[in-house]
Amino acid sequence: MGLFTKKPIDKLLLDSADGERSLKRTLSAGNLVALGIGAIIGAGLFVRTAAAAANNAGPSVTIGFIVAAIGCALAGLCYAEFASMIPIAGSAYTYSYATMGELVAWIIGWDLVLEYAVGAATVGIAWSEYLNKLLEMFGMRVSFEWSHSPFEVFKDSAGVMHHGMMNVPALFIIFMLTLLLIRGTKESAVVNGIIVISKVSIVILFIVLGWGYMNPVNHEHYIPAASIYTDSQGVNHNYGGIWGILGAAGVVFFAFIGFDAVSTAAQEAKNPKKDMPIGILGSLVICTILYILFAHVLTGVANVNDFRTAGKEASVAYAIKTYMAGYGWLANLVTVAILFGFSSVILVMLMGQSRVFYSMSRDGLVPKMFSDLHPKYSTPYKSNWIFLVLVGGFAAFVPGDIVGDMTSIGTLFAFILVCAGVWILRITNPEIKRQFRVPLVPVVSILGIVVCGAMIAGLGWTNWARLGGWLLIGLVIYFTYSKKNSKLR
């Protein structure tokens, strides 16, 4: 059997019906929408919005959100068709196995480690930073040594150098959320639902209260004239014009990462053929509307220069404290919302990673321990423990900026393969029942590939090199272990 041998659809569906080794179907459409919102609203909205406005597009960052949302929507339609047709855990990995063969499936499964595992660790590090901002409200903080990696140093006002030892808060939050995932997907969804309600309420509160504090001057040149902006690190950015908007779209794309994680829970949905399209597209629509309104208000309350200087970090809290007199309490709530947001993003990313490796393990491409289920909770607990060590180790001992935009490039790569997969399966298996059908195939598939490919191009050659190196490691593992142990072979 060749490297591009496909896994038959009927075998995929048969595997999902294996009672003893099957995940519990406990999630409703509402749970899935909440999971999607929980994964999407987080670091991207609260951090990347101001960065894109400062470096790329000014107030027209809202248009950048629309461009990024179009790319996500095109891929989301394809995800929805797959999830309603093949309601199996594993997301893009499973879909690729059925349409493009084993080698491509392995590549995308390995690539998803970048999106989920590395992404969870990166957000865990950001969670640690914002925890200190919260503690500072009460006159406390975790010392630099125990909230930063060994590779980071800091010189205080007295000229004393501090060296990081271990990021304890980042490891702590990953450990606690891993325990929650082992306890059960339903319980995780309930906690995630509470978090989602909290942070969405605060986002809406900022939009409503901030609307009256917008300064029309800040939106006078909504699409700035094209120019080159050099940031404080000496990096040049295309600012304004069409290239500025496209650059902003690439930056804020990070804010949409997570909606595809809904598809990894297909095998735990009560009625996947109906619930998966609602969960994927519903969460994407809700978040896009919130993003555009939020960005419009934020760039109206504060100006671009604020986001380049004093308001560069914790930009939302800065805008509130500086321009919205009497709403200091809202700035504090935003900090809490950011912590909630980061927590739910980590939760869904950890769940997504364990479900991808669950599927890969059942196919024999990674060891059996990744698909062993807890005797009481029916969750892949061994996989959760293994990823706790890997993700926790990264979060505790590696600086957060070491991976750059690798999470984004990994996700976009997965999107391209899913868009292509829907088109391929329409040709090779037109007889399969599809509860949800993507309209205008192959037009939607081609547009999805083009838009996501354009955003990858905008991420630069350094990220291409990192992705190439990561995939090379994955290919070594495939040819030394996975190829020999594949159950399909």
- For the cut 70, the answer to whether the pLDDT of residue 2 exceeds it is no
**DSSP class per residue in 452-482:** HHHHHHTT-HHHHHHHHHHHHHHHHHIIIII
CA separation for the pair 422, 77 (Å, rounded): 10
Q: Which of 298, 373, 257, 403 is nearest to 58 (CA)?
A: 298
Mean pLDDT taken over the chain: 81
Q: What is the pLDDT of residues 393-433, one digit of tens each?
A: 988 887 765 554 677 777 888 888 889 988 988 898 888 77
34 phi-psi bin (left φ>0, alpha ψ -120 to 50, beta other): alpha
**DSSP class per residue in 225-240:** PPEEEE-TTS-EEEES
Residue with tokens 């934020």, as numbered in its chain: 298
CA separation for the pair 152, 169 (Å, rounded): 16
Hey, how many other C-beta atoms are within 10 angstroms of the C-beta on 19?
5
Query: Sign of the CA dihedral 25, 27, 28, 32?
Result: negative
Bigger pLDDT: 357 vs 447? 447
Task: Kindly state the tokens that stand for 236.
Answer: 């040049």
Cβ–Cβ < 8 Å for 129, 414: no
Q: What is the pLDDT of residues 288-318, one digit of tens each?
A: 899 999 999 999 999 988 888 876 656 888 8
Reported as a pLDDT band with limits 50, 70 and 90, residue 17 is: low
Amino acid at residue number 405: D
Q: In terms of residues, how long is the chain? A: 489
CATH (one of 2.60.40.1840, 1.20.1740.10, 2.40.50.140, 3.50.50.60) for 21-485:
1.20.1740.10
Q: What is the pLDDT of residues 141-158, one digit of tens each?
A: 898 889 888 877 777 777
The set of long-range contacts for 481-484, using a CB threshold of 8 Å and a minimum separation of 24, is 481/366, 482/106, 482/364, 482/365, 482/366, 483/3
* pLDDT value of residue 19: 45
271 phi-psi bin (left φ>0, alpha ψ -120 to 50, beta other): beta
Provide, rounded to the nearest whole percent, the portion of the chain with pLDDT above 90: 15
For residue 430, the 8-state DSSP code is T
Query: Sign of the CA dihedral 70, 47, 120, 251?
Result: positive
Distances (CA, A) of 198 to 157, 335, 337, 456: 37, 12, 7, 33
Tell me the angle at which helices 92-99 and 406-428 cross, rounded to the nearest 10 degrees: 40
Encode 466-481: b = buried (16+ Cβ within 10 Å), e = exposed.
bbeebbeebeeebeee
| Backbone phi, psi, residue 27, to 5° | -100, 130
Instruction: Please state whether the predicted TM-score (pTM) of the whole model is above 0.85.
Output: no
Strand partners of residue 239: 227
Q: What is the pLDDT of residues 72-119, one digit of tens each?
A: 889 888 887 877 776 665 567 777 787 788 888 888 888 877 778 887
* pLDDT value of residue 232: 65
Reported as a pLDDT band with limits 50, 70 and 90, residue 385 is: very high
Give the rounded distance of the alpha carbon of 174 from its chain centre.
16
Provide, rounded to the nearest whole percent, the portion of the chain with pLDDT above 70: 85
| Backbone phi, psi, residue 73, to 5° | -65, -40
Any residues with CB less than 8 A from the CB of 314 and at least 6 apart, and which? 133, 335
- For the cut 80, the answer to whether the pLDDT of residue 70 exceeds it is yes
**DSSP class per residue in 121-165:** HHHHHHHHHHHHHHHHTTT----GGGBS-TT-EEE-TTS-EEE--
Residue with tokens 């650059």, as numbered in its chain: 247
Distances (CA, A) of 291 to 201, 294, 360, 410: 13, 5, 34, 22
CA angle 327, 328, 334 (to 5 degrees): 95
Element (H, E) at 320: helix 315-323
Q: What is the pLDDT of residues 165-223, one digit of tens each?
A: 899 999 999 999 999 888 865 666 677 677 778 778 888 999 999 999 999 999 988 99
Task: Kindly state the tokens that stand for 217.
Answer: 């001057």
Q: Which of 230, 267, 220, 255 is nearest to 380 (CA)?
A: 267
Amino acid at residue number 277: P
| Domain residue spans of the chain | 21-485
